[in-house]
Structure 1
Amino acid sequence: MGGMPVSKAKSFKPSAKRLMKRLYPERFTFAVVVALSVTSVGFSVASPKILGQATDVIFNGVLARLHHVPGAGVDFTALARVLAWVLSLYLASSLFGLAQGWMLNGVVQRVVFRLRADVEDKLNRLPLRYFDGQPRGELLSRVTNDIDNISLTLQQTLSQLLVSVLTVVGVLVMMVTISPVLALIAVAVIPVSVFLTGRIGKRSQKMFVAQWKHTGGLNAHIEESFTGHNLVKVFGRQAESEAEFRKRNDDLFGAALGAQFISGLIMPAMMFMSNLSYVVVAVVGGLRITSGTMSLGEVQAFLQYSRQFTQPLTQVASMANLMQSGVASAERVFELLDAEEQEPDAVDSLQPAGRHGRVEFHDVSFSYRADQPLIEHLSLVAEPGQTVAIVGPTGAGKTTLVNLIMRFYELDAGTITLDGVDITRLRREDLRSRIGMVLQDTWLFGGTIRDNIAYGRPDATEEEIVAAAKAAFADRFVRTLPDGYDTVIDDEGSNVSAGEKQLLTIARAFLAGPSLLILDEATSSVDTRTESLVQHAMAALRSERTSFVIAHRLSTIRDADLILVMESGRIVEQGTHDELLAAHGAYHRLYSAQFAATA
């Protein structure tokens, strides 16, 4: 159960109630499950009383023989009839219990199936801002381990809880019919058991919260260390990483030990109360036999009921830690489902008249945090077919600018239009289908090279895929691989170099054929000669398309139609390469700093 919930569950009861509400679509099936459980428990509960009649048959027969009653003895016909009846009841109880378990398993799996589907849909509706603020390991823990833990909890607790409650009710009814006095003695243990369970449960919940918190922290640290394994080795930080692991592991050990120890006290406490009740019932029952108010068979049946009565309570108490764990996981998943979603697409969405690629920023303001403005009152126009280069120091807002075009973030003020239509009036799917984006951080998924290139247009033919690869100068290295375009790339793309990965992402953009192209340091990982070749290919790709190019190497954007120089979220200069150099401003300083050493 590694990678469990990371933070504290706010409240047990509301989360448990909300989890139970997810059973509502299965209410009719669940009603059948309850009916099967009632029938199974009813047969099981009735059996000890009937079995007590067999004891009376034997006891009375032996007693009559001891008193030398003529023709007396054990009535084996009556005994066989009683035993056959008891055997039939137990068999029927088992069959109904089997059917109940099979149907309940289906109920639980369908509930978890819908929960997973809801989480998947929710993830697709969350804004990029949410993912930027969540550690990847912690988020993965919510959508995988937490849901698995909920499934385990529902599977193990629902059936036992239902059967236990029905058993307690049924056994109590049977005990009262046999002897109200002994029933009162058996019931007297319930308040004490509930008190002990409640006291221990409250303390264990706090310990479980600490356990999940430390487990999530350890999971995030391991994921981070494995992802950056090469970096840890390069900087010789193995000792620090191991020390951090040991600290988090020790914290988890202490919390888990405390949680399991405290929750483990419930079972012994309940067993003690059960045994105490059993002894008292046996003593009082023996006295009532000697007084003639009860038969031996009745006392025997009652003792069985006494054990059956406390056993379900013990089972429920022993499930307390599992229920605490499951509800804590449910809390984590519900927090994800309750996260603020991105603004929905406009109901009356529009479509631009053409695919020209004209982009206009009008008085745009944006900030990641309300108290730290980033972009303020920004206005610019990118005409169709223009190449707009964006340069500036790190943190100036260059990537943020293109993220706003993609609607990865929503504006604080102002508007951005694409071909004259406000992008907030476009469906995100329609907007992004018009845009091709090549990022500095390349992304490839587990699959063949062909599949990765075709991700830009899944219906592309083999010829189109190869043509896109050739245009991006990826075809030459792909054909040197043993399996060519059928070469399988792992999740991290570790079996191809960083430059080769970038060429594949550029080929993907070539194949998509967008009307608006965004290149964020798209050639930062390729060698100088390949960069020169790709620049020529991109020039062809950018023809008749509006392009936004973020660049740190200013030599790559000399031919741009418009260069925007950004500082602290503002455009401080704009113009062509020659115009900006002649102005001796911010661009001139950047250019001079970059080429001073070469000069």
Structure 2
Amino acid sequence: MSVVGVQGEERHEYTKAESRHIRRRSLRLLGSLLSPMRPTLALTIVVVLISTAGQVAGPAIIAYGIDRGLPALLEQDWFPLAFAGGAYLLTGLVGGFLIAWYIRLSARISQAVLIDLRKRVFLHTQKLSLEFHESYTSGRIISRQTSDLDSIRELLDSGVNALVQGLLYMGMTAVMLVVMDPVSGLILAVALVPLFMLTRWFQVRSQVLFRRSRVVSAKLIVHFVETMTGIRAVKAFRKERRNERDFAGVVEDYRDVNAKVVGLFGTYEPGLMLIGNTTIAAVLLFGAFRVVDESLAIGALLAAVLYTRRFFDPMEDLAMFYNSYQSAASALEKISGVLEEEPSVPDPVKPVDLWKAEGHVRFDDVEFAYTPERVILPHFDLDIPAGQTIALVGSTGAGKSTLAKLISRFYDPSDGRVTLDGVDLRDLHPKDLRRAIVMVTQEAYLFSGTVADNIALGRPDASFDEIVAAAKAVGAHAFIESLPNGYDTDVNKRGGRVSAGQRQLISFARAFLANPAVLILDEATSSLDIPSERLVQEALQTLLADRTAVIIAHRLSTVAIADRVLVMEHGRIVEDGAPAELIGGTGRFAKLHAAWRDSLV
């Protein structure tokens, strides 16, 4: 037998064992979040117990005032009635003060939990390997930090309060009802049978609907984020109408599931009211007969009616809690699932230091596959001496970018090893690895902040003169100086104030300032115009002279500065030699070069 579960934005069938694992995983996460707050939790429990007891004492004090105070007052004894009035006022004041204190304590706990959880999600997802981020959509990541955490916040801020206070209130009320009048307590016990059946009916159906609501809500976020992120492609391919239809379908699904939730409450709440009013009527009827028979005091009857009515008061809040609980439980499952993810490229247990890397890169019988069916590099060997500049060329899917990712240790080989100066990258200290190897990609991502901040990303302690020198080296200084505030210009979100080519030049300056032993350029000149590319090529000839460089480029003009060209096909090197040597031959690179030269003509 299986149960329906939600992971990410899709529905899966979970076995009972998997469901138990997910619940245990979520409970472990919740326990670890609450563990530092144990003293505050203990104080909160004491406060809520005392405040609830004060509230529950009210009808019993009223009964005492009626049954003892009024007869005593007829005999000119005002003390019992005054005592009842004073006690009722005192319990109200103490209860109000303690409730306010309880709300503050619970808010402190919920905020501490949320801060801890937000930090954990951010830090953990940042630590996860590139493989995770390439398979986990940005919309889903945003959903974890927004709607899912908001669901947990709502539960902690109001839902838990309703649950704790409601259950304590109902339990103490039932006990006091039995103490005041066991017959009324028996009537309430009988009413619990239909109450349990109604609540169970609501629970089963609401569980499915609330989970479905979370799924559709996540789809809304994902659809919106992906549309806004890819807005250029949307407009370029006139996808607005299709997006409108797709989004309208998701919105309608969200409306339908919420309408069903409202319909569910529309049945549950009237049913709850019917059971409650019927129970109160029964307590009043049976109590009235016993008052006439003088087997029950009228004050005790009033207290029994009040206790019966108050017993049902929290039920609606508990139903609303179940709504919050289902959303929060689903959100906690997703978040705990992300936090359970392990990096596919883990840090070494006993890292090897490499303070000064020379840049000798070697592939020893490396095999790499993204999946068992998708082998990219089958038994690959390559030796790149320190200081050599190699260019990788080949058709799309030949394995060039995969090779670069393995050198950068964004992925680990499935078999064999990749070494830097004889040290397996899996054993190399992460700080030394990132200091020694830098990759510049086609994306050229810029973070919010100044141009200088973005150039100094790899070396935050760099001086302003060093930043300017790096910009001059790659030909970026002139356009940076022309910006409104020069190096202090805010590049705006994702580099919106500079062109694609200018972003690429800034990313070059960033890489050169980091001064790595191995520099990888993955289609890094693709966004540059011809004049800018020539400037960069002139800079590269000087800056790559004393470092190992791996250049992946479709533009063969960039390949001209390489010492060595590797032509790749289907994860294998089919040609290896100096550019002039290969151009003069009759192989694959010679044909590529001839086709490129003809295209220029």
Cα distance in structure 2, aligned partners of 1:140 and 1:220: 8
1:317/1:598 CA distance change after superposition, 3 Å: closer
Partner of 1:67: none
Which amino acid is 1:373 matched to?
Answer: V
Deviations 1:102-151 (A, max 9, x none): 11221222222222232233213322111111111012101332122112
Deviations 1:515-552 (A, max 9, x none): 11111122211211111111111222112100001110
Query: 1:431-580 to 2 correspondence within 5 Å?
Result: 431-580=433-582
**Given that residues 37 and 96 in structure 1 are in contact (C-alpha distance below 8 angstroms), is that contact kept between their aligned partners in structure 2?**
yes
Q: Which runs of 5+ in 1 are unaligned?
A: 63-71
1:403/1:485 CA distance change after superposition, 3 Å: same
- Deviation, structure 1 residue 75: 5.2
Comparing 256-265 with 554-563, greater Cα deviation is found at 256-265
Partner of 1:48: 59
Comparing 253-262 with 85-94, greater Cα deviation is found at 253-262
- Deviation, structure 1 residue 27: 2.7
- Deviation, structure 1 residue 595: 2.1
Cα distance in structure 1, aligned partners of 2:355 and 2:481: 41
Partner of 2:183: 181
Partner of 1:29: 40
Cα distance in structure 1, aligned partners of 2:160 and 2:78: 42
Alignment equivalent of 1:305, drawn from 304, 307, 324: 307
Number of aligned pairs? Answer: 587
Comparing 165-174 with 398-407, greater Cα deviation is found at 165-174
Determine whether 1:342 maps to 2:339.
no
Deviations 1:365-394 (A, max 9, x none): 101111121111111111111101111111
Partner of 2:169: 167
Partner of 2:4: none
- Deviation, structure 1 residue 296: 1.4
Cα distance in structure 2, aligned partners of 1:91 and 1:7: 51
Query: 1:218-229 to 2 correspondence within 5 Å?
Result: 218-229=220-231
Which amino acid is 2:558 matched to?
Answer: T
Which amino acid is 1:359 matched to?
Answer: V
Q: Secondary structure at the match of 1:425?
A: coil
**Given that residues 217 and 248 in structure 1 are in contact (C-alpha distance below 8 angstroms), is that contact kept between their aligned partners in structure 2?**
yes
Which amino acid is 2:117 matched to?
Answer: L
Cα distance in structure 2, aligned partners of 1:375 and 1:531: 31
Determine whether 1:98 maps to 2:123.
no
Cα distance in structure 2, aligned partners of 1:75 and 1:443: 85
Cα distance in structure 1, aligned partners of 2:600 and 2:345: 49
Query: 1:118-517 to 2 correspondence within 5 Å?
Result: 118-352=120-354, 354-517=356-519
1:38/1:436 CA distance change after superposition, 3 Å: same
Q: Secondary structure at the match of 1:294?
A: coil
**Given that residues 464 and 511 in structure 1 are in contact (C-alpha distance below 8 angstroms), is that contact kept between their aligned partners in structure 2?**
yes
Comparing 115-124 with 452-461, greater Cα deviation is found at 115-124
Cα distance in structure 2, aligned partners of 1:579 and 1:336: 51
- Deviation, structure 1 residue 56: 3.3
Partner of 1:115: 117
Partner of 1:6: 9
Cα distance in structure 2, aligned partners of 1:19 and 1:172: 34
Partner of 2:583: 581
- Deviation, structure 1 residue 100: 1.7
Cα distance in structure 1, aligned partners of 2:24 and 2:333: 9
Which amino acid is 2:581 matched to?
Answer: E
Cα distance in structure 2, aligned partners of 1:328 and 1:222: 21
- Deviation, structure 1 residue 596: 2.1
* TM-score w.r.t. length of structure 1: 0.93
Deviations 1:440-463 (A, max 9, x none): 111001111111111121001111
Q: Which runs of 5+ in 2 are unaligned?
A: 1-6
**Given that residues 15 and 327 in structure 1 are in contact (C-alpha distance below 8 angstroms), is that contact kept between their aligned partners in structure 2?**
no
Cα distance in structure 2, aligned partners of 1:329 and 1:5: 10
Cα distance in structure 2, aligned partners of 1:350 and 1:15: 34
Comparing 323-332 with 182-191, greater Cα deviation is found at 182-191
Deviations 1:5-48 (A, max 9, x none): 73448649656644552423323321221111111111111121
**Given that residues 351 and 421 in structure 1 are in contact (C-alpha distance below 8 angstroms), is that contact kept between their aligned partners in structure 2?**
no
Comparing 150-159 with 31-40, greater Cα deviation is found at 150-159
Q: CA RMSD in A?
A: 2.1
**Given that residues 5 and 328 in structure 1 are in contact (C-alpha distance below 8 angstroms), is that contact kept between their aligned partners in structure 2?**
no
1:17/1:414 CA distance change after superposition, 3 Å: closer
- Deviation, structure 1 residue 559: 2.9
- Aligned-residue identity in percent: 36
- Deviation, structure 1 residue 77: 4.9
**Given that residues 442 and 502 in structure 1 are in contact (C-alpha distance below 8 angstroms), is that contact kept between their aligned partners in structure 2?**
yes
**Given that residues 5 and 146 in structure 1 are in contact (C-alpha distance below 8 angstroms), is that contact kept between their aligned partners in structure 2?**
no
Cα distance in structure 2, aligned partners of 1:318 and 1:144: 21
1:353/1:252 CA distance change after superposition, 3 Å: closer
1:554/1:494 CA distance change after superposition, 3 Å: same
1:8/1:264 CA distance change after superposition, 3 Å: farther
Cα distance in structure 2, aligned partners of 1:19 and 1:204: 24
**Given that residues 378 and 570 in structure 1 are in contact (C-alpha distance below 8 angstroms), is that contact kept between their aligned partners in structure 2?**
yes
Q: Secondary structure at the match of 1:380?
A: strand
Deviations 1:408-438 (A, max 9, x none): 1110111111011111111223211111221
- Deviation, structure 1 residue 299: 1.0
Cα distance in structure 2, aligned partners of 1:235 and 1:294: 82
Which amino acid is 2:405 matched to?
Answer: N
- Deviation, structure 1 residue 205: 1.5
- Deviation, structure 1 residue 60: 4.0
Cα distance in structure 1, aligned partners of 2:296 and 2:230: 76
Cα distance in structure 2, aligned partners of 1:539 and 1:364: 30
Cα distance in structure 2, aligned partners of 1:338 and 1:13: 13
Which amino acid is 1:402 matched to?
Answer: A
